[in-house]
Amino acid sequence: MVGCGKMGGAMLRRWLDAVPARFTAVNRTPSAIPDGAGHAGSPSALEGRRFDAIIIAVKPQQIADVLPDYMAFLKPGGCLISIAAGFSVASIQRELGEHPVIRIMPNLPALIGRSVNGLFASPACTDAHRDLANQLAETSGTAIWVETEDEIDRITAVAGSGSGYVFEIARAYVDAAEAMGFDAETARALVLETLSGAIEMARQSDLSLEDLRNSVMSKKGTTEAGIKALRRDGLLDQLMRETTQAAYARAVELR
């Protein structure tokens, strides 16, 4: 694994516990590497070694500068697995050569084994390459294979960046609770437990989200009053569409 930031480190921790393979992470800061993984600070530290896969876990804008120095350590028939958002297969192959490439688009809940992982494989990938990527994805959460890279960019906009949207919505919700007079600790507990309970209920229910929403409301009651304010002028729907479209547009730019 070249790079080991928050996302790469979160996924690597899950893999170390569950995947029967040996991992080596490249990072200038040894303390960033989870226990159980090998560490290398530079290409020279890997001399004489070859790997079945190289996992690209640096920022997209760093790939061209950082990754070429590591391609000599990929075994013949090995593959590249990229978790770099937005950087297309064509862009990876332009910078690193015509190797089989699988893109995995995870999100931060990989840290607790609840990531949503979108996966796309280039045509040169074998069943063995796909099996490896699928195992890595399922170890950190759910694996969703797609047929086009555009779908990966849309998954990036909805799920890859999605935990950030949820944290921001929760932050605003907690602020609103504090504005009503609750202390910070109580406000956080009220909001997070309400969100967690509602989401788990939706996961277990066959009802639509609209039906679930309506089941909470009574005519002229408190929930109806709150929902009317939340949906005033259709701003909430518009804001969520603009949010995901902005993230998608940036993913397209990064290709």
CA torsion through residues 2, 108, 168, 85, sign:
positive
SS3 assignment, position 92: helix
- Whether 70 is covered by a domain: the verdict is yes
β partners of residue 107: none
SS3 assignment, position 118: strand
Domain termination site, one of 126, 155, 184: 155
Same domain, 143 and 26: yes
pLDDT tens across 179-224, in order?
999 999 999 999 999 999 999 999 999 999 999 999 999 999 999 9
Same domain, 49 and 75: yes
Provide the residue range defining the domain that includes 250.
162-254
Residue 104, number of CB atoms within 10 A of its CB: 26
What does the angle CA 117 – CA 30 – CA 109 come to, to the nearest 5 degrees?
20
Q: What pTM does this model have?
A: 0.84
pLDDT value of position 5: 85
Q: Alpha-carbon distance 183 to 43, whole Å?
A: 51
Percent of the chain past pLDDT 90, that is, above it, reads 80
- Whether 104 is covered by a domain: the verdict is yes
pLDDT surpassing 90 at residue 173? yes
Domain termination site, one of 106, 137, 155: 155
| Of 159, 89, 150, nearest in space to 124 by CA | 89
Task: Provide Rg for the chain, Cα atoms.
Answer: 21
Compute the average pLDDT of residues 91-113. Answer: 93
